[in-house]
Structure formats: structure tokens, C-alpha cells
Amino acid sequence: MSTSTDTNPTSTPKEDEQQKDPKWKGQSRTLKICHWCAKKQEPGVKPFQACAKCKEVIYCSKECQVASWPHHKGPCKSAVESKKQLEGKPELAQQIAVFKKWHSTNVDLLRHAFICALDLGHNPTAATTNLIFIALTLKPDHATQPARAKYTVHNGFTLTDAEARDMLGAQGPQGLQMLENARQNSEFMRKKGGLGLARLLLMENEKKMVDFTTIVLPSKENARLAQEKEDWGEDWIEQLRLALP
């Protein structure tokens, strides 16, 4: 399944020049930074305005919002549509909220799993052509577990874009839309430098899609260092399972 030898002929040398880890401004609202220029919102001053459509990203100025729109248009539309699908489905919305908490508290481990699974320290372009699939199960005692410990990982593998499309196609149009959304966001990030976004497909019991999520990747150099320090190698899913709370 792994295609870590894939190369991306469209990748630019700019990726190599990037030293610092980029910030993923798709999380601009949580990080309190402008989605376009990454300016930090200081306390005590007028709060940045959120995108009126999706309310997921914030801008320091009208100028930044206008400049960002051609890039934000696609992801914005998907975000609005995903929200619409959750209307009148409190159970699903609740399940996704639980999952998002789990994901955000374990993001460093998931990122490391992604780096090792795709061997990004040696094949940095693999992030553009591949994603990883992780199957999760709610622990039997999940109700009494803290957010970060609600799920167990029981399976995982790498997928090419085409394989992911096949798999998500079976989930209906929304799955494909999420995949496309993640691809666009990742491309946006690569233009800003760095390796783009890790794209993770998380499913519960391998049948029902829980979420399709992205994690900002470190620079090429930092990916190499992370793998040098601790390489989970082929055994990444087992190592992830052991490392998770």
C-alpha cells in the first residue's frame, strides 16, 4: 500500500529553503492569528473579524480578507457544507466533537506517526501524494476516560490519493469533498513553504468515517530530525498505539 517512492515533479526548491515550521492558518481562529498575514491578535485591541461565511478563520483587516479569498473560497464552501450536514444530527455532531478533542490533544503523536509512516525525513514529497488511514475504536470505558484517552488505535496504513478517493467515494459525496478540501489546504500551505499538511483519515470500526483531518507538517529539516531522534519505521501503527494514552 505504501508508495513512499512516489515523487512529485511539481514540488519547488522553495520547500528546501524553509527553516522554521510554518503555522497552519486554517486554525487561525484557535491560534488567534490572521488567516492571511499571520499577524497575532494582541489582547486589548479590537478583535479580528471572522469570515462571515464559515466563521472558522479570522482576519486582521479587510485587505487581508480580500487577498485571502481566492485561496479560501474552496475550503470555506466545504466548511459551510460540512456544517450544514450536521444540522439536525446532534449525535453525529457530538461524536465529531469528541473526536476533535481527542485529535487535538494527541496531535504531536499523530504528526510523528505520519512522518514515520511516509518516511518524510527521507521522502519529503510523499506528503503531497499520500495520506494515512487510521482506524479507531471508542474504548469500552470511554465515558469515564478523559478526552485524550477515549479512543484506541487498532489499524493503520498509508494510502495514495487515488486509493483514498476510492475509499471515500464509498462514503458518499461528502467524503470526496473533505478529501478535496484537505488537498486544497495542503497546496495552500506548500505555497507558503513547508511540507504542507498531513492528511489523516480516521474511521471508527473501519466502516463509518469519523473525520478527515489535517495536521501541519514541520519543515523538511525538522521532519528529518524528528525521525532521526525516534523512527517508528514500518512499526508506526504499533508505536502510535503504545504512545497514546
For Zn ion, give the closer residue by CB, 35 or 111.
Answer: 35
**What 3-state class would DSSP assign to 107?**
helix
Kindly state the smallest distance separating residue 61's Cβ from Zn ion, in Å: 5
For Zn ion, give the closer residue by CB, 44 or 140.
Answer: 44
Alpha-carbon distance of 125 to 186, in angstroms, equals: 12
- Least Cα distance to 53 among 65, 61, 45, 41 occurs for 65
For Zn ion, give the closer residue by CB, 64 or 126.
Answer: 64
For Zn ion, give the closer residue by CB, 54 or 215.
Answer: 54
Kindly state the smallest distance separating residue 93's Cβ from Zn ion, in Å: 19
For Zn ion, give the closer residue by CB, 61 or 145.
Answer: 61
Name the site residues for Zn ion (rule: CB under 5 A): 34, 36-37, 39, 51, 53-54, 60, 64, 76
Which cell numbers in the block locate residue 115? 512522518
Kindly state the smallest distance separating residue 38's Cβ from Zn ion, in Å: 7
Kindly state the smallest distance separating residue 167's Cβ from Zn ion, in Å: 27
For Zn ion, give the closer residue by CB, 51 or 182.
Answer: 51
Quote the Cα angle for 88-90-94, to 5°: 150
Alpha-carbon distance of 222 to 108, in angstroms, equals: 13
Contact (CB, 8 A) for 199 and 183: yes
Ramachandran category for residue 229: left, alpha or beta (phi over 0 → left; psi -120 to 50 → alpha): alpha
- Residue 85 CA, chain-centre distance (Å), reads 20
Residue 133: phi, psi to the nearest 5?
-110, 130
Counting runs of H as helices and runs of E as strands, what totals does the chain give?
A: 10, 6
> From the CB of residue 118, how many other CB atoms can be counted at a distance below 10 Å?
28
